[in-house]
């Protein structure tokens, strides 16, 4: 709509609060609906005192989810439990899979046309879970469902700029694949402005980008995973979706249903965003086939696990 409503599910959490702050400051957002199982009145009262345009509403607990998402143009989901040291994103599966399934069940009924951006990990599996729930309700549109991989792009750009002494705000690095470990494939060869990397630099940067989340988990020593950088990435992606809705087409990397790479159903590549979400999948130009192959094998396991969770196998 011309007065975009963004619903934030998991608004009271470590990601949710700073993400709400950034969305409240986004001049394109007219209504910010905060949903969580706890603490939304306080977070909403606090944010509502900021002198920006967005109207803020609070919705607490399952009975208020319908109102939170109804008429939303964009729904951003960071609800769930975060990683602790020693855990992989996949260790979050059982708890977070159920949370995403139940949230999307209501979205399918109350906001079937919304663009849905999933942050809840493991994103490789939670996106297929959401897709299966939407399909079950007869409202799945592959153009409207996204796994947020923007943090992988943000990190790649920060690390490349740091290594090369570039201006981070002018460095562009596409990242394809999925959002965990070896499924994260930074396309360093496509860095802009055009940048040369030695084999040694690529051999160091690639695993650092792939394990960057774990760097934060370990540094936080039990207090959780990335929240502030994830909030920035989530807000940047939500803003891109809203811009697309308003007719300002733009390109972002995102984990979507895609035929960009043979043999895998969901894959992040640059996509063009417009009024209905994904307008065009721009795909991957040639990159190290070995990295793609390893990613596809792992992604297929993650995707199958998500599908089986919903289908009850």
Please identify, using beta-carbon distances, which residue of 74 and 119 lies nearer to ligand APR: 119
- Out of 108, 134, 153, 230, point to the residue binding ligand APR (CB under 6 A): 230
66 carries an active-site annotation: no
Please identify, using beta-carbon distances, which residue of 134 and 161 lies nearer to ligand APR: 134
Can residue 219 be called a binding residue for ligand APR (CB under 6 A)? no
Can residue 119 be called a binding residue for ligand APR (CB under 6 A)? yes
Please identify, using beta-carbon distances, which residue of 292 and 299 lies nearer to ligand APR: 299
How far is the C-alpha of 280 from the C-alpha of 138, rounded, in Å? 23
Alpha helices by DSSP H, listed for the chain, are 16-24, 40-48, 65-69, 93-110, 123-136, 150-164, 199-210, 212-220, 228-245, 289-311
Please identify, using beta-carbon distances, which residue of 141 and 211 lies nearer to ligand APR: 211
Give buried/exposed letters for 217-242 (b at 16+ CB in 10 A, else e): beebeeebbbbebbbbbbbbbbbbbb
How far is the C-alpha of 268 from the C-alpha of 133, rounded, in Å? 20
Give the contact letters, 8-47, x = binds to ligand APR (CB under 6 A), - = no: -xx-xxxxx-------------------xxx---------
Element (H or E) spanning 262, and its range? none
Give the contact letters, 60-99, x = binds to ligand APR (CB under 6 A), - = no: ------------------xxxxxx--------x---x--x
Element (H or E) spanning 286, and its range? none
Q: DSSP characters for 191-226?
A: -BS-----HHHHHHHHHHHHTHHHHHHHHHTTS-S-
Closest distance to ligand APR from the beta carbon of 125 (Å): 11
Can residue 178 be called a binding residue for ligand APR (CB under 6 A)? no
- Angle of the 289-311 helix axis to the 123-136 helix axis, nearest 10: 50
Closest distance to ligand APR from the beta carbon of 2 (Å): 28
Can residue 177 be called a binding residue for ligand APR (CB under 6 A)? no
Contacts with ligand APR, residue ranges (CB under 6 A): 9-10, 12-16, 36-38, 78-83, 92, 96, 99, 119-121, 224-225, 227, 230
- Give the catalytic positions in this structure: 179
């Amino acid at each position: 709509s011309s007065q975009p409503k963004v619903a934030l599910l998991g608004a009271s959490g470590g990601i949710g609060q700073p993400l709400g702050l950034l969305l409240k400051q986004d001049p394109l957002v007219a209504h910010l609906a905060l949903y969580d199982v706890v603490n939304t009145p306080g977070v909403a009262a606090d944010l509502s005192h900021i002198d920006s345009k967005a109207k803020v509403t609070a919705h607490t607990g399952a009975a208020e989810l319908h109102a939170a998402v109804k008429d939303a143009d964009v729904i951003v989901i960071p609800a769930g439990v975060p990683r602790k040291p020693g855990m992989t994103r996949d260790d979050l599966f059982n708890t977070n899979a159920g949370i995403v399934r139940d949230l999307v069940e209501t979205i399918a009924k109350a906001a079937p046309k919304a663009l849905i951006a999933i942050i809840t990990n493991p994103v490789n599996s939670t996106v297929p879970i959401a897709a299966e729930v939407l399909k079950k309700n007869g409202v799945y549109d592959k153009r409207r469902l996204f796994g947020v991989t923007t943090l992988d792009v943000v990190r790649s750009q920060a690390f490349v700029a740091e290594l090369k002494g570039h201006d981070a705000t002018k460095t562009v690095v596409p990242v394809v694949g999925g959002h965990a470990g070896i499924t994260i494939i930074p396309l360093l060869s496509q860095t802009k402005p055009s940048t040369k990397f030695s084999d040694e630099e690529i051999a160091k940067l690639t695993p650092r980008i792939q394990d960057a989340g774990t760097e934060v988990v370990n540094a936080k020593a039990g207090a959780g995973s990335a929240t502030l950088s994830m909030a920035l990435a989530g807000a940047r992606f939500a803003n891109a979706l809203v811009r697309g809705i308003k007719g300002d087409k733009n390109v972002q990397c995102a984990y979507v249903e895609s035929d960009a790479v043979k043999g895998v159903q969901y894959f992040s590549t640059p996509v063009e965003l417009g009024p209905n979400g994904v307008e065009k999948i721009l795909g991957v130009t040639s990159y190290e086939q070995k990295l793609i192959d390893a990613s596809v094998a792992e992604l297929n396991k993650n995707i199958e696990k998500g599908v089986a969770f919903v289908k009850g196998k």
